[in-house]
Structures are given as structure tokens and as C-alpha cells.
Amino acid sequence: MALATATALAATLAACASSDSDSGSSSGDGTVSGEVSLLTPIFEGSTGKELLEGTLLPEFYEMYPDVKVNIDYSSYSKLNTKLTTSVASGLVPDVMLMGVGWIENFAKNGVLADLSSLGLTEEELSATHSSMVVNAGIYDNKVYAVPIMLDARFGVARMDLLEEAGYDHTPTSIEELREMAKALTVRDASGTMTRAGFDLQSNDSRQVFETFLFSGGGDLFNEDITAPAFNSEAGVEALQLMSDLVLVDKVEDVGYSSTDATVNPLINGRAAMGLAHNNLWTQTLEADPEMLDNLEPFLIPGDDPSMFFGGTLATMSSKSKNPEAAQALLEFLTSAGPALAANEQRGNIPALDELLTSDYVTNNRFVQFAMENLDVAKHEGGPAEWLEIRGNFTPAIESALLGQTDAKSALDDLAATSLATMDSN
């Protein structure tokens, strides 16, 4: 099945490949040659590098012995800078793996190859992937990216700690979440926090806000993506809830945890509940497998219980000198085998439907939970200016969390800036 999907995608792309390649060559018998560059944030670190260079690329070279791949590794935090400098210098990588919400800007500005013109349709992708995920790679009704993996944010509770406090279920309403979080918060005699009732800080503050926003029934932008909608009543309530948890309920002190924390506080019991990335399952499996039984995922309750999802998609440069080799690499990386290996390595959710029955997925309860709730999941992005807009979220959210401004003012100011950005382009 996996092979069939990979072959189908390969066939679709290869059959419709551009024929006016100047330096890349096709031998005409199905083989391709040439040198291509790959910019990737998902094989970062020694384990990822070993997987890509030690396992995956040798498989690729067996299929395409005349193609040479030059790899540029990057973290997600530096990916934007890498892409900007590569575009400015005119050295855009042939194949780029980028995040959900990024496609629009690079597609609008002509950096990405239109895969629709190569014959890859939205319908075809939706036959093998969840349509919600496929949507993240569509801009202006054209396909610009093929999804490889998803990553979700949802609530996770330490049931052993909840049971100690007399709770046998995860929160079913925002009021209950606040009550439980307060009851589960522990401080020592000097008032120093030893356990957070609800951990907000181990994830990016923008993504935490978005998860609460979506669960409260809100959206980032209006339906036709012409104006911000995150300062709606649902948005203000979401940010108010975040600041209330910190400033009023005091269920987590500022600085108690961070996105750089070596061990997630849910694993070592420094938090009883929190918002978590689905790879918490893999982290726990490595750190303390016995703890897995105690971790229970849940949707943040609200008017419209939902979760946030992001992901990584494979794109091609519109100006690749070796488009056939680039296509071959793109199709390889998005095919079942490499995609499963990449997802396993990062503890993420495979985008290909056929991988959802793999051992990796069936043995990972968080991935299962995310898949079961994908129909209510929402992703960030929308306007082509999203990469610029999103940079302003963190200071605005932080100023509300630190009590420097109220939630409504913070979001209204952010919305005004965002609208100006959208209107200026």
C-alpha cells in the first residue's frame, strides 16, 4: 500500500515533469541526474542526520544513482532566516521542507513551484492524505506542497496526580480546568512552586494562545482572510484565561518552565496538567516508559473543543535547475517509507493515511488521539503575510501574561498592526 502511494505520487509528478530543464538531464528511460540542494528542519541533530544520510539517502541513491543531494540542515527557529537569505542571494534550495502557514507567502512571491502545473491535484492528494492537511499546502487553489508530518497541541493530564487529588477524569469545562489546576498546584513552605497545576510555558506562547482560541470557537482570521479575527470575544477570552491562570489562579509562575526545558514538567511530575506537543509520548517513552500509563490526552474544553496542529510539508523551488531530480527527491521524502521514518524520529503524526495503521502509530496513543480529533483541529496561517504577522504575537501575549496590558488591548493592538501589514502588501 505504501509503495503504491509512493509510486502513484512519483508517477504523477514524473509524468508531468517540466521538459524544459536546461542543466538537469533525463535519460529518457525514467532515470534522472543532477545536483540538488535540500533545506530541511526535520532531520536536525545527530539522530536525524544519521537517519537521513545513513539510511534514507542511500535508498534514494539506489533509485537515482546519478543524483547528488546537498543537505542544508536547519532548526525551525532559523528556517525563516535561511530561506530569506537564500531568496535574497538567488540560491533557493531545490527542495525545501517548511511549516504549515509558510506556504502562502513563498507561493505568492513565486519562490515555490506550482505542483498543480506538474499534474498533482488537490483531489489526488486528498485521496491519500487528510484533506485538512492537504489544505495547508494549497494557495490560490493550486498545490504548492506535499505534507509529510503533522504535530498537534492538546491538553495532557497526569492521571496519577489527578487521582491523588480526588479527580478521576480530565477537565470537562474551562471552569473545571481552572478549579482542578488550582487544586493540583503545589508550593513549598516558602511559597516556591514545586508543581504547576497547569503548565502553559513548555510550548510556544503563540501556539498556546491559538489552542485556547480554537477551543473557544475562535479563528485567527475572517473567512475570506481579509482581516484578523483573533481579537474577537473568543480571542479575548482565550488570552484572558491564559493570564488568569498565571496572574489570578497562580497555577504556574512565570519562568517555572520554558520551551527550552530539558524535561517536560509533565514527565517528572513538576506539572499535573498542561498543554503538550504530541511528541511528549516519544519523550516519555525514552525518559520513563512506565509513566506513559499515567498520561491522558484531552481537548481543551470550550465552546468548540479543538486542538492546534502544525506540520511539515515538502516544496520545490520554482527556479530549480534540476527540476526532475528535485521532483524525484520530493516524491521520495513524501513517500511512505521515508515519511514514516521521519515521523518516528520526531514523534510526529504521519500525513499519509496509509501510515496510520503502522505499528508506530498504533502504539502511540498521542498520535492516535490527534488523528481521532483531526476533524476538529485547526492550523495557523491564512494570509500571505502570516510569517510577518506571527512575529508580533509573542510580545503581545507576553505583555498580557505579565499583566502589563489587558487581553483586549493587547489583541486589538495586534489586530491593528496585522491589518496594516495585510493591507500594505
Partner 1 sequence: MVAPGALWLGFWVALPVVATFILSMTDYNVFNAPKFIGLDNYIHVWNDPVFHKATWNTVVYTFWTVPVSMAIAVVIAVALNQKLRAQSWYRAAFFLPQVTATVAIAMVWLWIYNPQQGLLNNALAIVGIPGHAWLESTDTALWAVSLVGVWQGIGMKMLIYIAALQNVDEALYEAASIDGASTVRKFWSITLPMLKPATFFVFVISIIGAFQVFDQVYVLTDGGPANSTTMMTYEVYRSAFQNFKMGLACAQSVFLFAFLLVMTVISRRMTKGDES
Q: Greatest CA separation found in the chain?
A: 76
Least Å from the CB of residue 304 to partner 1: 29
**30, 58, 65, 395: which one contacts partner 1 (CB under 8 A)?**
395
Total residue count of the chain as it appears in this document: 425
Q: Where are the alpha helices (DSSP H) in 122-173?
A: 122-128, 131-135, 159-164
Helices 233-243 and 205-215 cross at an angle (nearest 10°) of 130
Least Å from the CB of residue 414 to partner 1: 12
199 and 324 Cβ atoms separated by less than 8 Å: no
Q: Which is nearer to partner 1, 117 or 258 (CB)?
A: 258
CA atoms of 99 and 101, how far apart (whole Å) = 6
Is residue 317 part of the contact set for partner 1 (CB under 8 A)? no
Q: Which is nearer to partner 1, 186 or 254 (CB)?
A: 254
Which of 28-36, 123-131, 163-171, 185-193 is the region at the interface with partner 1 (rule: CB under 8 A)?
Answer: 185-193
Is residue 65 part of the contact set for partner 1 (CB under 8 A)? no
Is residue 289 part of the contact set for partner 1 (CB under 8 A)? no
**27, 55, 81, 222: which one contacts partner 1 (CB under 8 A)?**
81
**18, 23, 84, 226: which one contacts partner 1 (CB under 8 A)?**
84
**253, 288, 296, 353: which one contacts partner 1 (CB under 8 A)?**
253
Per-residue binder mask for partner 1 (CB under 8 A), 396-425, x = binder? --xx--x-x--------------------x
105 and 387 Cβ atoms separated by less than 8 Å: yes
**28, 166, 255, 289: which one contacts partner 1 (CB under 8 A)?**
255
With a CB cutoff of 8 Å and minimum separation 6, the contacts of 113 are 144, 315, 316, 317, 318, 320, 323, 326
Identify the three-state secondary structure at position 310. Answer: strand
CA atoms of 399 and 381, how far apart (whole Å) = 22
Region 101-160 residues binding partner 1, contact defined as CB under 8 A: 105, 109-111
Other C-beta atoms closer than 10 Å to the C-beta of 177 total 25
Phi/psi of residue 200, nearest 5 degrees? -105, -20
Ordered DSSP codes for 59-99: HHHHH-TTEEEEEEE--HHHHHHHHHHHHHHT---SEEEEE
What are the C-alpha distances in Å from 23 to residues 172, 322, 328?
60, 6, 15
320 and 326 Cβ atoms separated by less than 8 Å: yes
Least Å from the CB of residue 332 to partner 1: 28
Q: Number of residues in contact with partner 1, rule: CB under 8 A?
A: 29
Q: Which is nearer to partner 1, 363 or 404 (CB)?
A: 404
The 8-class DSSP code of residue 352 comes to B
**2, 227, 254, 291: which one contacts partner 1 (CB under 8 A)?**
254
Identify the three-state secondary structure at position 314. Answer: strand
Least Å from the CB of residue 385 to partner 1: 9
Helix%, strand%, coil% for the chain, nearest 5:
50, 20, 35
Least Å from the CB of residue 84 to partner 1: 5
Q: Which is nearer to partner 1, 362 or 404 (CB)?
A: 404
Q: Which is nearer to partner 1, 281 or 386 (CB)?
A: 386
Q: Which is nearer to partner 1, 92 or 180 (CB)?
A: 92
Which of 156-164, 207-215, 321-329, 387-395 is the region at the interface with partner 1 (rule: CB under 8 A)?
Answer: 387-395
Which of 208-216, 223-231, 252-260, 328-336 is the region at the interface with partner 1 (rule: CB under 8 A)?
Answer: 252-260
Least Å from the CB of residue 343 to partner 1: 28
Is residue 189 part of the contact set for partner 1 (CB under 8 A)? no
257 and 193 Cβ atoms separated by less than 8 Å: no
Least Å from the CB of residue 318 to partner 1: 11
Q: Which is nearer to partner 1, 353 or 388 (CB)?
A: 388
Residues that bind partner 1 (CB under 8 A): 80-81, 84-85, 87-88, 105, 109-111, 190-192, 253-256, 258, 260, 387-388, 391, 394-395, 398-399, 402, 404, 425
